[in-house]
Amino acid sequence: MQPMLDALVSILFLGLAYAMVLYIVSVGLSLTMGLMGFVNLAHGAFAMAGGYITVTLMNAYGVPFGLALVAAFVAVALVSAVLERTLYARLYGAGELEQVLFTIGLIFMAGAIVRELFGPVPLPVHPPAILSGQLSLGFRTVPAYRAFLIVVSFVLILSLWLGIERTNFGARLRAAVDNRRMAESIGIDTALLFTVTFALGSGLAALGGGLGADILAIYPGYAVEYLVYFLMVVAVGGLGSIRGPFVAALLLGIGDTACKYLVPEFGAFFVYIVMIGLLIWRPAGLFGRA
């Protein structure tokens, strides 16, 4: 009984941490897609950038973990806002194919740049000393960093949800996602809303990349390799939804971890099969609008 309980706790912890990282990275993509209808496949590149900035600041310049994360968030948010105004905005009316091609081009460029700057090998990640090692929960110990990740993620996510539910900005965002033309006609500046939302989503992705450097390795292929996971979370969750991708991330994160643990040989497949099955059942996503 005890080994099984042990295994369960391990799976839940790892899976939950993984899920949180996936969610924090992907929620921005869900918002962008739902709000602007823009297929931004390059979203993972912002997470990758966040990871590179965070880890490099810590490793090469000795910047404290928290500060490095904030720097990553701000830097990526600013850069993404500029990109949005100058490039993305030109393609808002364009077809889906153009948006896909454009963002693939961006992924290729981003991957090549980081490879040139940092080399092809995944960055070594050293969590700050107070967060490494094991944390005692009384009946057993768990990796301290994972625990920290879970707690910080919950705080981030709650702030995000409260922000969207309670603030003026959040209200405008929800209105514009629901019905953009209506929102414009009651005076909401959707262009500004787009830029701010895009920057927020990209910044969050950067945070996710930095926080989750331990789980999703930071290397030049990051944006390509994990693209399918981010897309799955958003598609299964439902575009434009905040809660939907959370549930999807939990399913994917915990499910993937569990399957890989329990059935190492074929574990990786189950997640795809479950996700594909869910999409056959609900093509618009679990919480999406049909």
Partner 1 sequence: MADPIITALRQHRLRWIEAVPWIIGLGGYYAFSDQLPFASQILITILFALSLDLVLGFAGIITLGQAAFYGTGAYAAGIYAIHVSHEPLSGLLVAAAAAALVGVLTGLVILRTRGLTQLMLTLAFATLLAEAANKASFITGGNDGLQGIEIDPIAGLFRFDMFGRAGYLYCLIVLFCVWLFLRVLLASPFGQSLVGIRENVTRMHAIGAPVAGRLLITYAIGAALAGVAGGLLAQTTQFVGQSVLSFERSGEIVIILVFGGIGRVYGAFIGAAVYMIAQDQLAKSEPEFWNFWIGLILVLTVLFARGGILGLIDRVRGL
Among 66, 105, 128, 163, binds partner 1 (CB under 8 A): 105
Distance (Å, whole) CA 63 – CA 104: 32
Half-sphere exposure of 25 (CA within 13 A, CB side): 39
Residue 177 makes contact with partner 1 by CB under 8 A: no
Q: Which of 134, 155, 136 is nearest to 145 (CA)?
A: 134
Least distance to partner 1, CB of residue 173, Å: 19
User: Of the ranges 17-25, 171-179, 184-192, 224-232, which one interacts with partner 1 (CB under 8 A)?
Assistant: 224-232
C-alpha torsion angle, residues 107, 238, 251, 246 (rounded to 10): 90
Query: At which residue do the structure tokens 């329990």 appear?
Result: 262
Least distance to partner 1, CB of residue 134, Å: 32
Distance (Å, whole) CA 183 – CA 42: 27
Residue 121 makes contact with partner 1 by CB under 8 A: no
Among 12, 79, 101, 144, binds partner 1 (CB under 8 A): 101
Main-chain dihedrals φ then ψ at residue 17, nearest 5 degrees: -60, -45
Q: 25 with 267: CB under 8 angstroms?
A: no
Residue 265 makes contact with partner 1 by CB under 8 A: yes
Main-chain dihedrals φ then ψ at residue 156, nearest 5 degrees: -60, -50
User: Of the ranges 126-134, 147-155, 227-235, 253-261, which one interacts with partner 1 (CB under 8 A)?
Assistant: 227-235
Residue 117 makes contact with partner 1 by CB under 8 A: no
Least distance to partner 1, CB of residue 204, Å: 19
Report the 3 state secondary structure along 216-276: CCCCCCHHHHCHHHHHHHHHHHCCCCCHHHHHHHHHHHHHHHHHHHHCCCCHHHHHHHHHH
Among 111, 143, 201, 212, binds partner 1 (CB under 8 A): 111
CB atoms closer than 10 angstroms to residue 228: 12
Among 64, 120, 128, 133, binds partner 1 (CB under 8 A): 120
Q: 206 with 72: CB under 8 angstroms?
A: yes
Residue 234 makes contact with partner 1 by CB under 8 A: yes
Q: 249 with 22: CB under 8 angstroms?
A: yes
Least distance to partner 1, CB of residue 53, Å: 19
Residue 113 makes contact with partner 1 by CB under 8 A: yes
* Interface characters, 34-63, with partner 1 (x: CB under 8 A): -----x------------------------
Residue 92 makes contact with partner 1 by CB under 8 A: no
Point out which residues bind partner 1 (CB under 8 A): 33, 39, 87, 90-91, 94, 96-98, 100-102, 104-113, 115-116, 120, 224, 227-228, 231-232, 234-235, 239, 265-266, 268-269, 272, 275-276, 279-280, 283-285
